[in-house]
Structure 1
Amino acid sequence: MEKAFKNEIKSQFPYLSNSKILLAVSGGVDSVVLAHLCKIAKLDFTLAHCNFNLRDEESDADEDFVAALAKKLNVELFIENFDTEQYAKDNSMSIQMAARDLRYEWFEELRLKHQFDFILTAHHANDSLETFFINLIRGTGLEGLSGINADSNYIVRPLLNFSRKEILAYAEENKISWREDSTNASTKYLRNKIRHELVPVLEEINPQFLETFLKTQSHLKENEELIEDYLSLLYPKIIGKTEYGYSLDINYLKKVPNSSAILYQLLKSFGFTEWNDVYHLLDAQPGKMVFSTSHRLIKDRDYLLLTEIDKTEDKVYKIAKNEDFAMLPMGTFSFSEVKEINDKRSNCIYINPEKLEFPLTVRKWQQGDIFYPFGMKGKKKLSDFFKDKKLSLPEKENSWLLCSGEKIVWVINQRADRRFSITSSDQKIIKITFSL
């Protein structure tokens, strides 16, 4: 296995030979063997061990064992203790998910603080097989059936082409000791149930089942890459960047085959779960929306608009009298006294300062807002004004108003209110300019 591991590093992970590595070690046979193999391969690595305090004396014994291993291998060691049960309770999650989150968050902190290039974990072929069945049972797309990635986001898994049987045999042949987690024998966890009950039946049917699975998984990965290549060609034809997120061309989506599958691939990373509702948006009435925890998808006239959910409350900002500049989150206002109108761009207005009530306020528009549009007769609801301009929902929601008391002075960058416009008899003219 030593020769096979060195060849794996040379062919699949050559960058590890010149990298600073953080190696996750639980004390189990997989991670202990990986540590020994990395030492033999002369990689530059440091060990990291998590004590989740879930098995009382066993957890402490695991920590002591890893400390002894680090001393034996003559490498540095980081150890962190966690109150995993409290974290799981505070975040309403399972113990397994809590441990996973705590582990990877700490690894990432260590990577950044100590400038490690990569984090190594000891996932192997059987782990990938078990993950395949877990995802299959729970329901997944192609990416969930493609197994564990060999490397992703600084995480590298150099044992993925080795089986649990090979790792155990290597440990026994080389008299390498390890710690056995007593919970691994319990079938109350889905992964263990698959490991101890499902996989042995499949191996009884086909003794070469793991090798067959790895070949199948390789084909699935190739198909996944093929889909990604296809999407990379479609992407610029379907998706456009907007000021508030992304737009997806509905007409183009309807023309291409398998539009539902394409929508899934394009949007899967944004947290949507109600996929039938997403697909039905293509033929829904404008204004229909589907939400994920972080984003929303809006049916506009000819596009699906993808925006982040704004979880901040709308605020009102004040501008005091005699300010030349006011820097606010949405942009900067500048005020200057002029003698005449010399700029007709949409980002500036000219008003009579004597008609203003200070402090001025800046806020987002609200349903029921009414103003008197410059160049038009009578008053108009802002909702009707936006409808006439055919603004999308994100554009409406991000429309800001400059107000004097309860009156709208300016729908910023769109239309001024004529009640504040200058006349030939006005002695003073203030130019207000807005810039992002």
Structure 2
Amino acid sequence: MLKIQDVTFLKNSKNLLAFSGGADSTSLFFLLLQNDIPFDIAIIDYALRAQSKEEVSYAQELALEHEKNCYVFTSESIEKNFEATARAVRYDFFEELIFEHGYNNLLTAHHLGDRLEWLLMQLSKGAGCAELNSMKRITKREGYDIIRPLLHVEKSELIAYLEAKEKKWFEDETNQDMSIKRNEFRHLYAAPLLKKYKDGILKSFEYIDNDTDELIENTEVLQVQELYYFKRTKNLKSDIYHIDKTLKQLGVMISSHTRDELKESDDTVVSRRYAVCRTDEYVFIAPYLLDVSMDKGFKERCRVLKIPSKLRPYLFLNQKVFDTIVAL
């Protein structure tokens, strides 16, 4: 079920599996074992469901049985914007583990249905080619890669695999809640399409991957404290793609309206939280701060250096970051 190139690559890496106890991540757990791929697991308890305690216990039991490290994080209550906030909590925890323990890859169990569901959701709200295909087999992050080795596999295949091996997994009851948009897209659109047109959809994603690689110019996104920056590419679409990817890491999803703003303006505020500023050579993303009293000398230096005004309050409070921009 895993592709040969993934097995070969992962065998020579230190891997952390994002585990939930559901059919997807449980299948990936046993597929990694079956292929002698080294890995440890990490699980988040959002403390929303009584079943979540059982899922954590199951993760710990599997880890103990198969001599894996199991890292557990219990989240504080999330009151607003659950999906985006939970994603930020999740990746903050994973990244802390990755950098503390030296993992090369974060493995997630996203499958073909997830990928189609994501494409349809982006398509319905307005998105370009890069955004439609932002769930890819490999996503490069600073210091590690996110690898999704099941993107070519349908969920029914994963369940059949677990049933054949008589392995336990949990079904999250919220997956049936049709008031959640991703569930609506999964049950009403993605699942029926896959049932009828799976082979064509797989082939289309293969073509889209090849085309996207040609459309998007890669660039390295660097970070100093809470400032992210990269050299402008020759292609505005590529710049917006890297802005979008960086903001997603920060738990912010940009709207089609914001995407249009980024095309027209060199200085934009996203979700009232982040300033996105483009200069002749660089793109900067930093916390957007108000009510910061800056002295005249600092303001004049920023004016001479042509530092965008929306970045200045954050830079005034963070000398190391300011020195980095001056050096650029």
* Shorter-chain TM-score range: 0.7 to 0.9
Give matches, 1:109-124, under 5 Å.
109-124=96-111
2:201 is aligned, of 205, 208, 213, to 213
2:167 is aligned, of 156, 159, 176, to 176
The aligned amino acid for 2:72 is I
Could you tell me whether the CA contact under 8 Å between 1:245 and 1:308 is conserved in 2?
no
1:363 Cα deviation (Å)?
5.0
CA distance in 1, matches of 2:108, 2:99: 17
Query: Percent of pairs identical after alignment?
Result: 24
Match of 2:156 in 1: 165
1:15 Cα deviation (Å)?
2.4
CA distance in 1, matches of 2:310, 2:156: 59
Match of 2:277 in 1: 296
Q: Aligned pair in 2 of structure 1 residues 224, 52: CA closer, same or farther (>3 Å)?
A: same
Q: Aligned pair in 2 of structure 1 residues 193, 31: CA closer, same or farther (>3 Å)?
A: same
Corresponding residue SS for 1:179: coil
Match of 1:314 in 2: 294
Q: Which runs of 5+ in 2 are unaligned?
A: 220-228, 245-253, 312-327
The aligned amino acid for 2:129 is L
The aligned amino acid for 2:133 is S
The aligned amino acid for 1:108 is E
CA distance in 1, matches of 2:238, 2:132: 14
CA distance in 2, matches of 1:106, 1:60: 18
- Post-superposition Cα deviations, 1:234-278, rounded to whole Å, max 9, x if no partner, equal xxxxxxxxxx99789xxxx9xxxxxxxx43333443468545556
Normalized per residue, the structure richer in strand is 1
The aligned amino acid for 2:156 is K
The aligned amino acid for 1:157 is R
Match of 1:382 in 2: none
* Number of residue pairs aligned between Structure 1 and Structure 2: 281
Corresponding residue SS for 2:41: strand
Q: Aligned pair in 2 of structure 1 residues 110, 27: CA closer, same or farther (>3 Å)?
A: same
Could you tell me whether the CA contact under 8 Å between 2:42 and 2:70 is conserved in 1?
yes
1:73 Cα deviation (Å)?
2.3
- Post-superposition Cα deviations, 1:342-368, rounded to whole Å, max 9, x if no partner, equal xxxxxxxxxxxxxxxxxxxx55449xx
Give matches, 1:237-248, under 5 Å.
none
Q: Aligned pair in 2 of structure 1 residues 214, 75: CA closer, same or farther (>3 Å)?
A: same
CA distance in 2, matches of 1:29, 1:141: 31
Corresponding residue SS for 2:43: strand
Could you tell me whether the CA contact under 8 Å between 1:146 and 1:218 is conserved in 2?
no
Residue 12 (structure 2) pairs with residue 18 (structure 1): yes
Give matches, 1:273-422, under 5 Å.
273-274=257-258, 290-292=267-269, 293-297=274-278, 311=289, 313-315=293-295, 362=297, 364-365=299-300, 394=307
- Post-superposition Cα deviations, 1:11-53, rounded to whole Å, max 9, x if no partner, equal 2452211222111110111111111111111111111111110
The aligned amino acid for 1:75 is K
1:65 is aligned, of 53, 58, 63, to 58
The aligned amino acid for 2:295 is K
The aligned amino acid for 2:176 is A
Give matches, 1:186-225, under 5 Å.
186-203=177-194, 207=196, 209-225=197-213
1:304 Cα deviation (Å)?
9.7
Match of 1:429 in 2: none
CA distance in 2, matches of 1:155, 1:17: 15
1:314 Cα deviation (Å)?
2.2
Normalized per residue, the structure richer in helix is 2
Could you tell me whether the CA contact under 8 Å between 1:29 and 1:168 is conserved in 2?
yes
The aligned amino acid for 1:202 is L
1:315 Cα deviation (Å)?
2.8
The aligned amino acid for 2:198 is L
Q: Aligned pair in 2 of structure 1 residues 200, 314: CA closer, same or farther (>3 Å)?
A: closer
CA distance in 2, matches of 1:136, 1:396: 34
The alignment yields a C-alpha RMSD, in angstroms, of 3.6
Q: Which runs of 5+ in 1 are unaligned?
A: 233-243, 254-261, 282-288, 317-361, 367-385, 399-435
Match of 1:265 in 2: 238
Greater RCO structure (CA 8 Å; 6+ sep): 2
CA distance in 2, matches of 1:247, 1:33: 41
- Post-superposition Cα deviations, 1:312-341, rounded to whole Å, max 9, x if no partner, equal 64236xxxxxxxxxxxxxxxxxxxxxxxxx
Name which one, 1 or 2, has greater alpha-carbon Rg: 1
Could you tell me whether the CA contact under 8 Å between 2:44 and 2:74 is conserved in 1?
yes
- Normalising by structure 2, report the TM-score: 0.73
Q: Aligned pair in 2 of structure 1 residues 84, 143: CA closer, same or farther (>3 Å)?
A: farther
Could you tell me whether the CA contact under 8 Å between 1:28 and 1:180 is conserved in 2?
yes
Match of 1:100 in 2: 87
